[in-house]
Amino acid sequence: MVLKLYRNQKLCQFLAVHLLLSLKNIIVSVKAKKHLGQHFLTDESIAKNIADALTGSDYNHVLEIGPGMGVLTKYLLQRKPKITAIELDRASVAYLNETFPLEHIKLDTSKNHFEVIEGDFLKKDIQEMFNKEQVAIIGNFPYNISTQIVFKAIEYREFVPEFAGMFQKEVAMRIAEKEGSKVYGILSVLTQAFFDVEYLFTVPPNVFNPPPKVDSGVIRFVRKENYTLPVDEKLFFRVVKTAFNQRRKMLRSSLKSFNLSDSLKEDPIFTKRPEQLSVESFISLTQKIADHGI
Ligand code: SAH
């Protein structure tokens, strides 16, 4: 009898929560703003697949960039780690603060597991935000700043064991491609030097509101066990960037500013173009320049 009553109570609570949630969706939703790169994902199973792209268990924090109306957030909440979401759009923050208490009841998760911060991810110090603890980064990213987000994850690599998210397909490919590809460039080399990158799946425009003009791609990168390079890392970044700034030229001409000695220039690597060099070759190129150039 008691059990039955309890079940009925739970059922009523469940129905009330669902009713309120669907009403909320009708009453308030955030109007997409172009300047914030807002394209809201409307397909629940894709949202779940993106949230599931995170594999790790060796961290207690997940940072979601640009949660919007929380389509990914609700699936992230079902995972154990604490979720912090950072969102620039005040209307989205208000929406999340209003609707997520209901999600917590629905999912039986604790409020302490979730925090929304209003702000610009690019201006945040990840190290300070998470007290130097490890944090995985995820998001359906605003496409206008997606490469800056990756560069920031690389910069804070010591604290970022894993990263997953949705980009414009072309950017996702650029990050994941290997040498020899036309889109292989600075972003590919710098990411792959520290992370193992995997292109997971493509997402068509029609599952967004409003639909973007191009396909999107979901990728994951997991930090390498040994992510310290055997060369001067600052010099490595400079070599990669300088080489790709003139990607059609041979390295002996694009890297002139490194004052390469004549004997060094005779090394066959300098007759190559940057897109022919693997990450390992860039590392050995940096070593050669450190030993004989500059
Ligand atoms: N994750 C949501 C929204 C994706 S749109 C979904 O999948 O539906 C990208 C989101 O990033 C928008 O909500 C936008 O407001 C937010 N955003 C844009 N620039 C940002 C920045 N610099 N820092 C944090 N969030 C940002």
Domain extents in the chain:
12-223, 233-291
Ligand 1, pocket-test mutation among 84, 89, 122, 147, most atoms within 8 A of CB? 89
Distance 32 CA to ligand 1 centre (A): 10
> Cα–chain-centroid distance for residue 128?
19
Better-predicted residue by pLDDT, 85 or 15: 85
Instruction: Give the mean pLDDT of 88-99.
Output: 93
Which segments of the chain does DSSP mark as H helices, in order?
2-27, 44-51, 73-77, 90-107, 126-129, 146-155, 169-176, 186-194, 233-245, 251-254, 262-265, 279-292
The percentage of residues in the chain with a pLDDT greater than 70, rounded to a whole number, is 86
The answer, yes or no, to whether residue 3 has pLDDT greater than 80, is no
Q: Provide the 3-class DSSP secondary structure of residue 253.
A: helix
What is the reported pLDDT for 111? Answer: 61
The tally of CA atoms less than 13 A away on the side-chain side of residue 93 is 14
Shortest CA distance to 242 belongs to which of 227, 229, 252?
252
The answer, yes or no, to whether residue 10 has pLDDT greater than 90, is no
What is the reported pLDDT for 35? Answer: 87
The strand pairing partners of 133, in sequence order, are: none
Query: CA-CA distances (angstroms) from residue 243 to 24, 174, 185, 196, 248?
Result: 52, 16, 9, 22, 9
Instruction: Give the mean pLDDT of 219-236.
Output: 96
Rounded to whole angstroms, the Cα distance separating 191 from 211 reads: 28
Instruction: Give the mean pLDDT of 76-82.
Output: 82
Tell whether domain 233-291 is in CATH 1.10.8.100.
Answer: yes
Distance 34 CA to ligand 1 centre (A): 11
Pocket-forming residues, ligand 1, beta carbon under 6 Å: 36-41, 65-68, 71-72, 86-89, 92, 120-122, 140, 142, 145
Instruction: Give the mean pLDDT of 172-183.
Output: 96
Q: Provide the 3-class DSSP secondary structure of residue 133.
A: coil
- What does CATH list as the number for 12-223? 3.40.50.150
**Residue with CA nearest ligand 1 atom 5:** 38
* pLDDT single digits (tens) 11-69: 666 665 565 555 555 446 888 888 898 999 999 999 999 999 998 778 999 999 999 99
* pLDDT single digits (tens) 232-263: 999 999 999 999 999 999 999 999 999 888 88
**Residue with CA nearest ligand 1 atom 15:** 89
Distance 75 CA to ligand 1 centre (A): 17
What is the reported pLDDT for 77? Answer: 86
Tokens of 60: 């207690």
Distance 113 CA to ligand 1 centre (A): 20
Ligand 1, pocket-test mutation among 88, 141, 216, most atoms within 8 A of CB? 88
What is the reported pLDDT for 2? Answer: 57
Rounded to whole angstroms, the Cα distance separating 41 from 107 reads: 20
Distance 142 CA to ligand 1 centre (A): 5
Query: Which residue's structure tokens are 């425009």?
Result: 205
Do the domains 12-223 and 233-291 sit in the same CATH topology, yes or no?
Answer: no
**Residue with CA nearest ligand 1 atom 17:** 66
Shortest CA distance to 86 belongs to which of 111, 113, 65, 62?
65
pLDDT band at 136 (very low <50, low <70, confident <90, very high): very high
Q: Which atom of ligand 1 is the closest one to the Cα of 166? A: 7
**Residue with CA nearest ligand 1 atom 20:** 88
Rounded to whole angstroms, the Cα distance separating 147 from 122 reads: 11
The answer, yes or no, to whether residue 87 has pLDDT greater than 50, is yes
The strand pairing partners of 40, in sequence order, are: 209
Instruction: Give the mean pLDDT of 150-160.
Output: 97
Q: Which atom of ligand 1 is the closest one to the Cα of 86? A: 24
Distance 118 CA to ligand 1 centre (A): 11
**Residue with CA nearest ligand 1 atom 9:** 142
Better-predicted residue by pLDDT, 134 or 99: 134
- The overall average pLDDT reported for the chain is 90
Distance 280 CA to ligand 1 centre (A): 35
